[in-house]
Amino acid sequence: MPNKHIVYHIPVCPFSQRLEILLALRGQEDAVDFRVVDITKPRDPELLAKTRGTTALPVLETAEGTILKESLVILRYLDEVVKGPSLRRSDPVEHAIESMLIAQEGPFTMAGYLFVMNRDPDQRDSHLEKFLGLYRTMNDFLMAHSPEGPFLFESFGLAEAVFTPMFKRFWFLEYYEDFALPDGPEYARVRQWKAACMAHDATDQVSKEEIVKLYYDYALGAGNGALVEGRQVSSFAFNPPWQARPWPPKDKYTTSASDAELGLLP
Ligand SMILES: N[C@@H](CCC(=O)N[C@@H](CS)C(=O)NCC(=O)O)C(=O)O
């Protein structure tokens, strides 16, 4: 690529991590110029004009000024234009198979986020059941198309790049909901897939500690940099850095920590 693509993003965003994984797999981290957006601050009007008032990130701007949105679209685009072997399967049937698995990511992502954001203890079981049901569907799909594993095909590919950031994000469910995949055959294959995805070298852009600290406000029901009642600073703030903050309280149903308790005051 003669001129670099620009990607506007939130560094810890799972949708943007999909793109970072692709670049890491190719050893092409420098092929894209990442520009950090702080979602706790009002959006730059110039960027807002480019996205015609919409705010979701990541956004890719090509060297010619075309604006692309939606991480799956940007991922497939980068897969075509960045130097190196394609992530997508070249065989049409295999590509259709990976696309069917990818089609499960929307409901899975939504269910995980709604689960962590729920603060009504009476709703907890229904969130858990919904989430587990989606894992069983994935397990069934993997058993049908790739019973041996660990990946869908012989190596980490497009579907893995799509799902791994969500598997890592859902560390917040382990922490705030004590979520763990149950033992048993209904989950064995997806457990193996998830473990292989998460262990891959190209996916270490985020850590559990970072996710748990940054997503505290999500666990209190406040997403996308919104402020929790009584607080002045979002858990998504870049400063003080997450490394300098204590681990948040695990109990999201009855407590709400202050800015000071979360180490968010300078
Ligand atoms: N479907 C979109 C979702 C993107 C998304 O929700 N991004 C979040 C960050 S993780 C965001 O930009 N939130 C701020 C906003 O929507 O204003 C994609 O895959 O790109």
CB 33 within 8 A of CB 7: yes
Mean pLDDT, residues 74-90 taken together:
97
Q: What is the pLDDT of residues 70-81, one digit of tens each?
A: 999 999 999 999
Token pair 């149950």: residue: 182
Q: How confident is the model at residue 1 (pLDDT cuts 50, 70, 90)?
A: very low
Q: 3-class SS at 8?
A: strand
pLDDT of residue 134: 98
From 37-46, 64-73, 107-116, 203-212, the region with the lowest mean pLDDT: 37-46
Q: Which atom of ligand 1 is nearest to the CA of 12?
A: 10
Q: Tell me the β-bridge partners of 32.
A: 5
What's the fold here for domain 5-81?
Glutaredoxin (3.40.30)
214 pLDDT above the threshold of 90: yes
Mean pLDDT, residues 9-28 taken together:
95
Q: What is the pLDDT of residues 142-190, one digit of tens each?
A: 999 999 999 999 999 999 999 999 999 999 999 999 999 999 999 999 9
CA 122 to chain centre: 27
44 pLDDT above the threshold of 70: yes
Measure 188 CA to ligand 1 centroid, in angstroms. 31
From 2-16, 85-99, 127-141, the region with the lowest mean pLDDT: 2-16
Residue spans per domain, the chain: 5-81, 92-203
Q: Which atom of ligand 1 is nearest to the CA of 223?
A: 13
Fill in the DSSP letter of residue 231. Answer: -
Q: What is the pLDDT of residues 103-152, one digit of tens each?
A: 999 999 999 999 999 999 999 999 999 999 999 999 999 999 999 999 99
Ligand 1 binding pocket, CB closer than 6 Å: 10, 13, 15, 39, 55-58, 70-72, 224
Q: Tell me the β-bridge partners of 7.
A: 34, 60
Query: What value does the mean pLDDT of the chain take?
Result: 95
The sign of the dihedral angle between the CA atoms of 249, 133, 140, 93 is: negative
CB proximity list for 209: less than 8 A, separation 6 or greater:
242, 243, 247
What is the CATH code of the structural domain delimited by 92-203? Answer: 1.20.1050.10
Burial of residue 229 (number of CB atoms within 10 Å: 0-12, 13-18, 19+): exposed
pLDDT of residue 41: 80
Burial of residue 69 (number of CB atoms within 10 Å: 0-12, 13-18, 19+): middle
Q: Which atom of ligand 1 is nearest to the CA of 14?
A: 10
Q: Tell me the β-bridge partners of 59.
A: 8, 69
Phi/psi at 49 (5° precision): -65, -40
DSSP 9-68: E-TT-HHHHHHHHHHHHHT-GGGEEEEE--TTSPPPHHHHHHTTT---S-EEE-TT--EE
How far apart CA 146 and CA 123 sit, in angstroms, is 34
Best of 10, 15, 114 for a ligand 1 pocket test (most atoms within 8 Å of beta carbon) = 15
pLDDT of residue 123: 98
